[in-house]
């Protein structure tokens, strides 16, 4: 920082772009709003050179090395697909195939994903999921999960996060404090969960408690009727639970405010989410005017949110060395049920 320059907090938003390059209007908005970071979708991804150029434009617009996020879980939720990146089976199927070697397999899977992302200028992946795959979990989420046992899910999610961090990519833990009991797709409707709090604490919330040290997390647009009438993203009670009972100390971002689980004006929703205790709001697939209104409503991060943002960014590091052919060969052996002494 130059002598005499006053430190300014980041904008309390994560925004997206309409196409493969920023428009002049988008550049102007992003300079003014200074979002904490950006998120990419399939419409933004055309070629390696184009993706790197878009990431550079985003960072130039805010004048710093801001995080650029993507949903690259594998299965149905992977924005990058061949030939831009490897294709992966759904996580639940992948874990079942790996069996007792699932921990190492998940580490290698996400270490390879991190390698691909970093090569394109992307440094944050919206994974791992710590949601439980239960009997009533909606199909939109179920095969994205890692299992039904809280301890197993926590262990696998830890390996996902470790693989990403070792590859120089920040993980985003989803979906605080747990989306697994939701019987509806929150993209389309607001799920309600009637499970007693003591049961939630012992099951759904447990994996998140075990992963409370991760740098970033994303909320669930779910109503927990035993706790509050408002969805978790907008509930001071649930967000207090996330901080206190679960003990999550990282940066908390909302899930997309454009999802139909949340009704109402997007700018008002942004204010409500931040008032509830979220640090930053995520807005996707909105027109320029809505993005501008949400950015204005969200304003700048609070000092506490800024400190968590800076702590999260400090977890970014240079990737550890990785022998790609050896990692791919080991992963293949793990998925074929063969033992391996490991690499690196």
The active-site residue out of 34, 131, 255, 256 is 255
Q: How far is CA 315 from the centre of its chain?
A: 15
pLDDT of 6 over the 90 cut: no
pLDDT of 92 over the 50 cut: yes
| Residue 278 contacts residue 204 (beta carbons within 8 Å) | no
Go through the domains of the chain in sequence order and give each one's CATH number: 11-335 (3.20.20.300)
How large is the average pLDDT for residues 107-136?
Answer: 97
Percent of the chain with pLDDT over 70: 96
**Which of 87-96, 121-130, 176-185, 284-293 has the lowest average pLDDT?**
176-185
pLDDT tens digits for 28-49? Answer: 999 999 999 999 999 999 999 9
179 is catalytic: no
Alpha helix segments (H runs only) across 229-302: 236-244, 266-276, 288-298
The confidence score (pLDDT) of residue 7 equals: 58
The confidence score (pLDDT) of residue 184 equals: 84
CA 157, CA 210: separation in Å to the nearest integer?
10
The confidence score (pLDDT) of residue 239 equals: 97
pLDDT tens digits for 228-276? Answer: 999 999 999 999 999 999 999 999 999 999 998 899 999 999 999 999 9
The confidence score (pLDDT) of residue 338 equals: 54
The confidence score (pLDDT) of residue 188 equals: 85
How large is the average pLDDT for residues 14-27?
Answer: 98
Which secondary-structure segment (H or E) carries 281? strand 280-282
Collapse the DSSP code of 107 into the 3-class scheme (helix H, G, I; strand E, B; otherwise coil) and give the result.
helix
Instruction: Grade residue 185 by pLDDT with cuts at 50, 70 and 90.
Output: confident
CA 167, CA 158: separation in Å to the nearest integer?
14
Q: Please give the model's pTM, rounded to 2 decimal places.
A: 0.94
Please report how the helices 48-62 and 24-33 are oriented relative to each other, as an axis angle in degrees rounded to 10. Answer: 40
The active-site residue out of 143, 149, 185, 187 is 187
Q: Look at the chain and count its residues.
A: 344
User: Which DSSP string do the residues of 174-228 spell out, in sequence order?
Assistant: EEET--TT--S-TTTS--EE---HHHHHHTTTHHHHHTTTSSEEEE---EETTT-
138 is catalytic: no
The confidence score (pLDDT) of residue 5 equals: 38
> Measuring CA to CA, which residue among 307, 297, 251 is closest to residue 124?
251
């Amino acid at each position: 920082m130059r002598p005499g320059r006053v430190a300014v907090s980041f904008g309390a938003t994560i925004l997206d772009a309409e196409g493969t390059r920023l428009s002049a209007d988008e550049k102007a908005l992003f300079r003014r709003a200074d979002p904490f970071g950006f998120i990419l979708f399939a419409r933004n991804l055309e070629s390696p050179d184009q993706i790197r150029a878009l990431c550079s434009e985003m960072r130039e617009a805010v004048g710093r090395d801001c995080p650029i996020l993507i949903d690259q879980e594998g299965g149905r939720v992977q924005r990058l697909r061949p030939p831009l990146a490897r294709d992966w089976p759904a996580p639940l199927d992948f874990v079942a195939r790996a069996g007792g070697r699932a921990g190492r397999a998940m580490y290698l899977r996400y270490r390879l994903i991190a390698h691909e992302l970093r090569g394109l200028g992307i440094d944050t992946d919206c994974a791992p999921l710590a949601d439980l795959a239960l009997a009533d979990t909606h199909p939109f989420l179920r095969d994205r999960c890692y299992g039904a046992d809280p301890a197993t899910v926590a262990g696998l999610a830890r390996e996902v996060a470790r693989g990403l961090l070792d590859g120089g990519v920040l993980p985003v833990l989803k979906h605080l404090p747990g989306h697994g009991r939701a019987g509806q797709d929150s993209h389309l409707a607001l799920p309600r969960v009637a499970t007693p709090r003591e049961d939630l604490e012992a099951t759904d919330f447990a994996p998140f408690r075990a992963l409370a040290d991760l740098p970033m997390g994303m909320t669930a647009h779910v109503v927990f009727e035993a706790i509050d009438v408002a969805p978790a993203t907008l509930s001071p009670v649930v967000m207090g639970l996330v901080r206190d009972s679960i003990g999550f100390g990282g940066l908390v971002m909302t899930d997309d405010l454009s999802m139909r689980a949340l009704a109402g004006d997007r700018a008002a929703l942004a204010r409500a989410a931040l008032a509830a205790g979220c640090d930053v709001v995520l807005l996707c697939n909105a027109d320029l005017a809505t993005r501008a209104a949400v950015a204005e409503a969200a304003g700048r991060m609070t000092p506490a949110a800024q400190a968590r943002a800076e702590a999260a960014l400090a977890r970014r590091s240079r990737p550890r060395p990785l022998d790609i052919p050896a990692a791919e060969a080991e992963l293949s052996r793990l998925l074929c049920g063969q033992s391996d002494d490991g690499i690196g």
